[in-house]
Homo-oligomer: A and B are copies of this chain.
């Protein structure tokens, strides 16, 4: 029951993402294709940071004819569309990560009008983890508050 629910939520998410991508493509006079559809499917079903080769391997199991170039080209589009982010560790390869839509977020606080802008930056999150582990620190939670002046008050 619970598993089924999760599955449904997942499916819905992927569909919405595809719709958003299709819209993005249309605006640029581009087309949705079976390859792009499949790449989104595989990318968003997978966990963690995938490099092109990992995507390629998984995609070739479903559509053996797919080429590297298509995956490269599609991932660039997903980044441009805002559905994925590039990540560089130190191994010379580009890795891709979902843009998460989690509940956790940090805050920007306007010193003049007091308005609060919520944001979430996966790269900052990752770096916090990295810093913690460098110091052998077991991270429980964190708080990042950025103070300044919002668009209207600056």
Residues in chain B near residue A135, CB distance under 8 A: 108, 117, 119, 150-151
Give the docked Cα–Cα distance between A8 and B86 (Å): 42
Find residues 133-150 in chain A having any chain B CB closer than 8 Å to their own CB: 135-150
Residues in chain B near residue A145, CB distance under 8 A: 142-144
> A132: CB under 8 A from chain B?
yes
Q: Which of B131, B138, B147, B149 has a CB less than 8 Å from the CB of A124?
A: B131
Give the docked Cα–Cα distance between A148 and B136 (Å): 10
Residues in chain B near residue A117, CB distance under 8 A: 135, 137
Q: Which of B108, B127, B149 has a CB less than 8 Å from the CB of A123?
A: B127
Contact in complex: B146, A132 (CB < 8 Å): yes
Contact in complex: A149, B137 (CB < 8 Å): yes
> A88: CB under 8 A from chain B?
yes
Contact in complex: B140, A143 (CB < 8 Å): no
Residues in chain B near residue A88, CB distance under 8 A: 88
Residues in chain B near residue A4, CB distance under 8 A: none
> A16: CB under 8 A from chain B?
no
Inter-chain pairs besides A111-B140, A123-B127, A139-B146, 10 sampled, C-beta below 8 Å: A88-B88, A108-B135, A117-B135, A124-B128, A128-B144, A135-B151, A137-B146, A138-B148, A138-B150, A142-B147
CB-CB nearest 8 A-B residue pairs: A136-B151, A88-B88, A140-B148, A138-B154, A142-B146, A139-B148, A138-B149, A144-B144
